């Protein structure tokens, strides 16, 4: 089974045909996607800006993360499901679309950076949790996170201008 036949299979789903033929289903999925991704990126930025010492400095980093990150993961799931259905409807076209590919690569990079932050700077958080100024390695990771997510959103928006069919 090659990628082409997988994409043909995704596109043959009744819901995929429905999304392609309906005048309201794609806009409905895209609206859910836009609301979810706005809240995902917004919630990630709240924690990044705190670690960079730019906002919410009266709260400790761990306190803020515990409050915000469950929302981030829940909303990411909604972004993933709504994005996956839009993808399935025109899988062959999206897979060959450069902004779509760059968006997926940037999301993978943002994910790797999140793992790095979790397994390296966060391991010493007991030393800097309440400090306004976090260690340079933590700031670097959160600065990269901001850049990756801004680029993911930019590529996501660009898809609409480049997608064929
Ligand atoms: C939190 C992560 C994500 C962010 C920040 C994001 C961002 C975006 C943005 C900004 C748009 C353009 C919306 C518009 O202009 O109306 C978009 C559209 C789209 N996204 Fe995502 N997205 C995310 C996750 C995903 C995932 C996981 C998938 C696929 C599995 C996906 C697939 C799509 C598709 C197919 C479109 C429609 C493009 C079009 O035809 O206009 N997205 N995304």
Q: 116 C-alpha to center of ligand 1: Å?
A: 24
Best of 30, 31, 88, 156 for a ligand 1 pocket test (most atoms within 8 Å of beta carbon): 156
The parent domain of residue 89 ranges over 3-162
Q: How many structural domains are present in the chain?
A: 1
pLDDT at position 165 over 80: no
Q: Does the beta carbon of 157 sit less than 6 angstroms from any atom of ligand 1?
A: yes
Q: What is the per-residue pLDDT across 75-99, written as a single tens digit (0 to 9) for each?
A: 999 999 999 999 999 999 999 999 9
128-151 pLDDT tens trace: 888 778 999 999 999 999 999 999
**DSSP string covering the chain:** --HHHHHHHHHHSHHHHHHHH-SSHHHHHHHHHHHHHHHHHHHHHHHHHHHTTSS-TTS-HHHHHHHHHHHHHHHHHHHHHHHHHHHHHTHHHHHT-HHHHHHHHHHHHHHHHHHHHHHTGGGGHHHHTT-SS--HHHHHHHHHHHHHHHHHHHHHHHHHHH---
Q: What is the pLDDT of residues 4-16, one digit of tens each?
A: 999 999 999 999 9
Nearest CA to ligand 1 atom 11: 156
- Does residue 58 have a pLDDT over 90? no
Distance from residue 159's CA to the centre of ligand 1 (Å):
8
CA of 158 to the centre of ligand 1 (A): 10
- The predicted model scores a pTM of 0.91
């Amino acid at each position: 089974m090659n990628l082409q036949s997988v994409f043909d299979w995704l596109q043959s789903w009744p819901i995929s045909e429905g999304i392609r033929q309906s005048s309201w289903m794609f806009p409905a999925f895209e609206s859910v996607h836009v609301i979810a991704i706005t809240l995902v990126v917004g919630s990630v930025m709240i924690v990044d800006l705190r670690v960079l010492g730019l906002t919410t400095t009266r709260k400790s980093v761990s306190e803020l993360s515990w409050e915000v990150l469950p929302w981030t993961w829940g909303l990411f799931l909604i972004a993933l499901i709504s994005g996956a259905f839009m993808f399935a409807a025109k899988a062959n076209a999206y897979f060959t679309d450069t902004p779509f590919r760059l968006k997926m690569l940037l999301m993978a990079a943002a994910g790797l950076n999140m793992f790095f932050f979790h397994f390296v700077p966060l391991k010493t958080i007991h030393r800097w949790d309440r400090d306004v100024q976090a260690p340079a390695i933590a700031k670097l990771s959160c600065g990269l996170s901001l850049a990756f997510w801004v680029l993911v959103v930019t590529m996501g928006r660009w898809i609409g201008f480049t997608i064929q069919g």
